[in-house]
Amino acid sequence: MRRTTLYILAICATCATGGGCTGLQASMDPAGSPGRQIASLWWLYCGVGIGVYLITMFFILLAVRRKRRIEGPSDAPVVDTQPEPRRERRLTVVVSASLGLTTIILLVLMFAEFATTRAVASLSGDQQPLKVRIIARQWWWEVRYEERPTSEIVITANEIHIPVGRTIQFDLESPDVIHSFWVPKLAGKKDIIPGHGASLYLKADEPGTYFGQCAEFCGYQHAKMRFVVVAETQENFEKWRASQLAPAKSPATETQQRGQEVFLGSTCVMCHTISGTSARGTVGPNLSHVASRAKIAAGSLPNRPGHLAGWIMDPQKIKPGVRMPQHNLAPTDLRALLEYLQSLK
Ligand code: CUA
Residue 271 sits in a domain of what CATH number? 2.60.40.420
Range of weakest confidence among 31-35, 69-73, 184-188, 234-238: 69-73
| pLDDT at residue 80 tops 60 | no
At residue 91, the pLDDT reads 86
Range of weakest confidence among 16-20, 239-243, 295-299, 325-329: 16-20
Q: What is the pLDDT of residues 246-276, one digit of tens each?
A: 989 999 999 999 999 999 999 999 999 999 8
Mark whether 27 and 103 lie in a shared domain.
Answer: yes
| pLDDT at residue 163 tops 70 | yes
User: Which atom belonging to ligand 1 lies closest to the Cα atom of 217?
Assistant: 2
Q: Which residue did the predictor score with more confidence, 27 or 181?
A: 181
Q: Establish if 105 belongs to a structural domain.
A: yes
C-beta 298 within 6 A of ligand 1: no
Q: Is 75 exposed, middle or buried (0-12, 13-18, 19+ CB in 10 A)?
A: exposed
d(CA 47, CA 53): 10
Mark whether 119 and 134 lie in a shared domain.
Answer: no
Mean pLDDT confidence for 195-206:
94
Q: Establish if 75 belongs to a structural domain.
A: no
d(CA 57, CA 51): 10
Mark whether 221 and 296 lie in a shared domain.
Answer: no
User: Which atom belonging to ligand 1 lies closest to the Cα atom of 218?
Assistant: 2
Q: Hey, how many other C-beta atoms are within 10 angstroms of the C-beta on 38?
A: 19
Q: Establish if 309 belongs to a structural domain.
A: yes
Mark whether 114 and 162 lie in a shared domain.
Answer: no
**What's the 10 CA to ligand 1 centre distance in angstroms?**
30
User: Which atom belonging to ligand 1 lies closest to the Cα atom of 222?
Assistant: 2
Q: How many domains does the chain have?
A: 3
Give the domain range for residue 316.
254-342
Q: Establish if 81 belongs to a structural domain.
A: no
